[in-house]
Amino acid sequence: MMKPSMLRSLHAAMSRGSSHLARRGYATDPVPERKVAILGAAGGIGQPLSLLMKLNPLVSSLSLYDIGGTPGVAADVSHINTRSEVVGYQGEENLGKALEGADVVIIPAGVPRKPGMTRDDLFNINAGIVKSLATAIAKYCPHALVNMISNPVNSTVPIAAEVFKKAGTYDEKRLFGVTTLDVVRAKTFYARKAKVPVAEVNVPVVGGHAGITILPLFSQATPQANLDGDVIQALTKRTQDGGTEVVEAKAGKGSATLSMAYAGAIFADACLKGLNGVPDVVECSFVQSTVTELPFFASKVRLGKNGVEEVLGLGSLSDFEKQGLENLKGELKSSIEKGIKFANQ
């Protein structure tokens, strides 16, 4: 994640110029050019995510696409004095230009939940949106890393995979369901209960991204704390219901946008670092997997120059987590199958 100090150093380096750096004996490796496209950039997640990606010094070109509203968002963030050039693209006829040359495509396009809805209730609208966006990605930037935020992630990722397979461009190393918000929540809730500094906390979250398919592994949380079983159960439930907590608090005005933009920016930053060859970049993500018998599963993933370098195993689980893993498989399997079936209709 970029820090203000990194931004300041980047600005300073750019204004001094690389020859100056060379004279002073600093490494002069340029930061590679990287284009990031955000599809759904004018939405509740898209706008703050556009801001956060504009602040990321690893981005040289920021392409903001939506069916409407992107010229304004692009004009706004383009005035921020950071590295990237920003262009807004509006309307389907401009989607190709938005995508061409993209290294990372982030997709928060689609409708959000209202109180009383499940993520699966979004399927009818969002499945079609994701299918058409994935078709365009296969055509215009088949080698990009795709960060899928649109819900239901448990189905939209399999939809994109099927579209890419049909187009002959599928590379399982390059398709990611963004589950970082589950990790962000698990870290926050754990730090409060365990009374440890939140910045030091790590908690893997595995499975999928809906209700009981979200399985935080608090037995592996660090720093360790001896929390009672009932506290762990409550933390697990709160993490699983985190999205619903926000949907209810927003009372009809959508779902998590700001925390999601933060989480999306962390995950995209990790993808960019991996592409740039930074070692040991590990994040949880919903990817094609052999960790369980399910074809897609969220677990820790090592990111590298080609996207997924390694899908990491689950490690040792508590009895409570083993049970949670068994309980989630049925729902996750049917959400995956629903996505595959839709894409092949």
Ligand X SMILES: O=C(O)C[C@H](O)C(=O)O
Name the binding residues for substrate.
113, 119, 151, 185
d(CA 110, CA 50): 16
Q: Does 257 bind ligand NAD (CB under 6 A)?
A: yes
Residue 247 binds: one of ligand X, ligand NAD, none (C-beta under 5 to 8 A by kind): ligand X
Q: Which residue, 142 or 254, has its beta carbon nearer to ligand X? A: 254
d(CA 322, CA 343): 32
Q: Which two tokens stand for residue 318?
A: 């508590």
**Is 304 strand, coil or helix?**
strand
Does the annotation count 209 as an active-site position? yes
d(CA 162, CA 158): 6
d(CA 330, CA 148): 22
Give the residue, chosen from 146, 260, 266, 284, that forms a contact with ligand NAD under the rule CB under 6 A: 260
Residue 270 binds: one of ligand NAD, ligand X, none (C-beta under 5 to 8 A by kind): none
- Whether residue 223 is preceded by a cis peptide bond, meaning omega within 30 degrees of 0, is yes
Q: Which stretch binds ligand NAD (CB under 6 A): 15-23, 126-134, 218-226, 296-304?
A: 126-134
Q: Which residue, 36 or 39, has its beta carbon nearer to ligand NAD? A: 39
d(CA 180, CA 287): 13
Per CB under 6 A, residues contacting ligand X are: 112-113, 119, 151, 181, 242-243, 246-247, 255-256
Residue 246 binds: one of ligand NAD, ligand X, none (C-beta under 5 to 8 A by kind): ligand X
Closest by CA to 132, choosing from 104, 168, 156, is 156
* Smallest separation, CB 177 to ligand X (Å): 11
d(CA 193, CA 231): 8
Please report which residue ranges of 84-195 form alpha helices under DSSP H: 95-99, 123-140, 153-167, 180-194
Q: Which residue, 113 or 131, has its beta carbon nearer to ligand X? A: 113
Contact footprint for ligand NAD (CB under 6 A): 39-40, 42-46, 66-68, 108-113, 122, 126, 129, 133, 149-151, 153, 178, 181, 209, 254-257, 260
